[in-house]
Structure formats: C-alpha cells, structure tokens
Structure 1
Amino acid sequence: MTVTHAPDPPTGWHLWNEESDGRVILLYRPDIFSEDQDLPPECIPTLLISNGSRANRPGASQLTTDTWHAALTLEPDIDLRIQAFNTRQRAIEGGYALAQSFHAGEFDFRDPYQVPREAYFTRLDSVLQTTE
C-alpha cells in the first residue's frame, strides 16, 4: 500500500506520529497538557486514524481491517467520538473534521465520563475558549 502523507493538522492539533501503514495520531495542545497547567498529560485529547481492529481484547488493534476509523479520545478508555470510513483518505477528512469541531467547542466532552471531574472540565473549557 502506498501511503500519502496526512495534511497539516487543524488548528490546535499537532501531528504526533504518522506510520508507514497509514496510521495517524494527532494530539490536542500538547504544550499545555502538563501538571504545571492543571491539565494532566494522561488526559490529552487524541485523534487516532487507523484501520486496526476496534475489538476490545488484547492485541486486537494490531489486526488490520478494511474499515478505517477516526477515534477522538479524551484520555485512555474515554471515547468522545468514533467514526468509520471505507478509505484512509475519508478517515483523515472525517477525523480532521472531528478535530476542528472539538477545537471549536462543539462537543459536550462531559458526557462520556461516569464520574464528573469538574475542576478538569472547567480548565478544559477555558482552553477551548482561547486560541493558540
């Protein structure tokens, strides 16, 4: 498979990794997710574009499928949005649209949490209301 490079990421997002198999990982504002900023590094919003299996079992993500996914996570095991696509290019386009919507504050990021983290939510709200 010949993989074309992913375009520049949307505002606020940074290309963390682009692998030869087509997988792309974007991180949201890695400059501010640190203990010093009251935003735990493990909570950095991440966009993963991959055709790995989404099955919930050890090693499943190493298995490739015909379906590409754009998964926007708020931290490990906290999925905000997951969308499926039939090609890598469409997954990148759809994933980048998710990233833009997140940066614009269009998602209720509180909804996926079973246990509210109000101090974190307030701080993340303030980040989404400012520009780089």
Structure 2
Amino acid sequence: MTDADDLPEGWTVWNDEPGGRRILAYRPDVFDTEQFPPACLPTIYVAGGAPNRPPGETEAASGAPDVWRVQFFLEPDVELVSARTHDSREAALDAAGELAREFARGDLDYRGAYQVPREAYLDRLDELTGRR
C-alpha cells in the first residue's frame, strides 16, 4: 500500500480518510493562487465505487465498496487518466502511486490531455516537472 514516503518528489497525500478516499496532489506549494491557479493542481483521486456512480451516492449509503477507482485530473474538467477500477482499496492505492511515478518520470502526456492547449501553463508545468 502506497504511503506518503513511497511517493515521488513533489507528490503529497492531500487528504486521506481512514479506509476511504485518498487524494494525492502534485506540488500544492506551487498551485497557490500566485504561481499557478489552484484549479490546475494535478490531482489523483482514489475513491470507492464505480466511476459512473450517481451524484450524491456515498460509500456509506451504498455499503462497503466492491470496486475502487483511480482518476488523475490536471484540473477539474481535464482528466489525464480516465477512471481505472480495482478490486480493493490497497490495489487502488498502489495504482495511484504508480500513476504519480509515471507522471514524475514523464511517461504521461499531459499536453495531449488538453483539447485547447494552454501553452503558457503547460510550458511552466514542463519547467516545474523538469521536462525542459
């Protein structure tokens, strides 16, 4: 199971509900309203339930989840990696850690996730992640 010590540089556990949702954030020190808009914070979500769960339905309402999803967003409407499902929270946490490592290695094409490129932001993200 991935914990904060296993994450690559720049990634942090932003939120961790015991036995529930976990949110990993990339460089929250930079996405601070001054250097980058906070909405552009690269974020990996681990949560119980299928990706197409109806709005408002919670784990508590539906019982213990039998599936866990992992999603990677560059900003609220820009999904870098579509939801992937796993049989357990531990497997989902491991997958989230691997996504963070792939991002850190430069294996994920975040530029390709944008239909309308935001060149200044993406150039700055390249600098921040060491891709330039």
- TM-score, normalised by the number of residues in structure 1: 0.83
Contact residue 2 and residue 94 of structure 2 kept, 8 A? no
Which residue is 2:3 aligned to?
A: 7
Aligned counterpart for 1:19 among listed residues 17, 21, 43: 17
Q: CA RMSD in A?
A: 2.0
Match of 2:48 among 46, 51, 62: 51
Separation (CA, whole Å) in 2 of partners of 1:17 and 1:34: 17
Deviation for aligned residue 1:56: 6.8
Give the equivalent residue in structure 2 for 1:33: 31
Unaligned runs of 5+ in 1: none
Give, as a single letter, the amino acid of the residue that structure 1 aligns with 2:3. P
Name the structure 1 match of 2:118.
117
Percentage of matched positions with identical amino acids: 40
Is the partner of 2:66 in helix, strand or coil?
A: strand
TM-score, normalization by structure 2: 0.83
State the match for 1:71 in structure 2. Answer: 71
Is this contact kept in 1: 2:19–2:89, CA < 8 A? Answer: no
Contact 1:43/1:74 (8 A) holds in 2 = yes
Q: Could you list the runs of 4 or more consecutive aligned residues of structure 1 that deviate by over 4 angstroms after TM superposition?
A: none
Flag structure 2 segments of 5+ consecutive residues without an equivalent. Answer: none
